[in-house]
């Protein structure tokens, strides 16, 4: 049972909710144009996490045969429960359990930066059929602007977070997260180096601004609550990342405080008092052909 990522780095809720919004049907056409793949391709998603992109792919390509793999057992269990009609399995991207020349399309989102490039690209090149397509999605610098009622930390919150900051509990360093991150120009060069041709890039913007009038109330609430989940997940991770530093009572108080702030944000939205907080994500789509 490997739950290193879901326990220490990003929890299920954080990934699932943020990706569900980033890969919502609003952006279907933009992603389909960038992917440029056949309707009934065999698609392998590498490092699928809790499976939000996998589910979007299944909606966008209903005739495709889609499999998601990830090393984290909790993500795979969650993904399989959420979408039992899809195939998910635990596997290592550095040693894919698939035959040479057997897959039409490989796709991944925010995974390349964590895996040694000769393994990441080499394994996908090996399993892809000649003419098969490799799609590497990565998050580029976006814009984050938090509503005042959420950004404001009281002295209790400040004290808890400063207690944690003083510890050397940087999971990003411990687990070499993002060790192989590359710039927008280096990434296509490296893809070519590993044998891919017709390499191209596309960039897709997702504007997640709850107060925009084109968003339904339900969608606006989803946007606010995705951030609530990320904040709660950060608290839920404390016992793993900084064991014994924050008591159970304090953790409970911290969760209550977070929920109060997000409830207030929702109330402001419902009353039509605009905050214009926003999360703009920029996804790079790198595409190469074997």
| Site residues for ligand SAM per CB under 6 A | 5, 10, 15, 19, 47-49, 52-53, 70-72, 75, 92-94, 109-111, 114-115
- Closer Cβ to ligand SAM, 15 or 268, answer by number: 15
- Closer Cβ to ligand SAM, 105 or 268, answer by number: 105
DSSP per residue, 52-77:
HHHHHHHHH-TTSEEEEEES-HHHHH
- Closer Cβ to ligand SAM, 17 or 261, answer by number: 17
**Distance in angstroms (rounded) separating the CA atoms of residues 212 and 258:** 24
Instruction: Write down the least CB distance from residue 140 to ligand SAM, Å.
Output: 14
Instruction: Write down the least CB distance from residue 100 to ligand SAM, Å.
Output: 19
b or e along 8-20 (b: 16 or more beta carbons within 10 Å of the residue's beta carbon)? Answer: bbbbbbbbbbbbb
Using alpha carbons, select from 110, 138, 145, 80 the residue that is nearest to residue 5.
110
Instruction: Write down the least CB distance from residue 20 to ligand SAM, Å.
Output: 9
CA 27 from chain centre, in angstroms, equals 16
- Closer Cβ to ligand SAM, 137 or 231, answer by number: 137
Instruction: Write down the least CB distance from residue 79 to ligand SAM, Å.
Output: 10
Contacts of 111 (CB under 8 A, 6+ apart): 46, 47, 93, 120
Instruction: Write down the least CB distance from residue 17 to ligand SAM, Å.
Output: 10
- Closer Cβ to ligand SAM, 67 or 109, answer by number: 109
Instruction: Write down the least CB distance from residue 19 to ligand SAM, Å.
Output: 4
- Closer Cβ to ligand SAM, 102 or 253, answer by number: 102
Instruction: Write down the least CB distance from residue 92 to ligand SAM, Å.
Output: 4
**Distance in angstroms (rounded) separating the CA atoms of residues 165 and 91:** 34
Q: Are 231 and 262 in contact (CB under 8 A)?
A: yes
The pair of structure tokens assigned to 236 is 């839920």
b or e along 176-207 (b: 16 or more beta carbons within 10 Å of the residue's beta carbon)? Answer: ebeeeebeeeebbebbeebebeebebbebebe
- Closer Cβ to ligand SAM, 71 or 287, answer by number: 71
Query: Which residue's beta carbon is nearest to the bound ligand SAM?
Result: 49
End-to-end CA distance of the chain: 34
């Amino acid at each position: 049972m490997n739950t290193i990522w879901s326990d220490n780095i990003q929890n299920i809720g954080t990934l699932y909710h943020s990706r569900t919004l980033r890969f919502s049907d609003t952006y279907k056409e933009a992603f389909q144009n960038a992917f440029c793949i056949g309707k009934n391709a065999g698609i392998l998603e590498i490092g699928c996490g809790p499976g939000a992109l996998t589910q979007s792919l299944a909606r966008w390509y209903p005739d495709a045969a889609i499999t998601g793999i990830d090393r984290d057992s909790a993500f795979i269990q969650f993904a399989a429960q959420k979408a039992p009609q899809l195939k998910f399995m635990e596997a290592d991207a550095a040693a894919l359990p698939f035959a040479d020349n057997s897959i039409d399309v490989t796709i991944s989102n925010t995974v390349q930066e964590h895996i040694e490039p000769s393994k990441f690209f080499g394994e996908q090149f090996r399993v892809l059929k000649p003419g098969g397509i490799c799609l590497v999605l990565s998050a580029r610098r976006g814009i984050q602007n938090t509503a005042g009622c959420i950004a404001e930390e009281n002295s209790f919150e400040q004290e808890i977070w400063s207690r944690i900051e003083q510890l050397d509990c940087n999971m990003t360093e411990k687990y070499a997260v993002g060790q192989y991150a590359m710039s927008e120009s280096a990434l296509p060069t490296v893809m070519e180096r590993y044998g891919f041709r017709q390499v191209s890039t596309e960039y897709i913007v997702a504007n997640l601004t709850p107060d925009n009038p084109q968003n339904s109330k339900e969608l606006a609430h989803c946007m606010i609550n995705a951030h609530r989940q990320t904040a709660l997940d950060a608290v839920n991770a404390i016992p793993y990342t900084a064991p014994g530093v924050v008591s159970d009572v304090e953790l409970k108080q911290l969760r209550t405080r977070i929920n109060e702030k997000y409830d207030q944000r929702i109330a402001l939205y419902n009353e039509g008092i605009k905050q214009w907080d926003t999360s703009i994500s920029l996804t790079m789509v790198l595409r190469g052909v074997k």
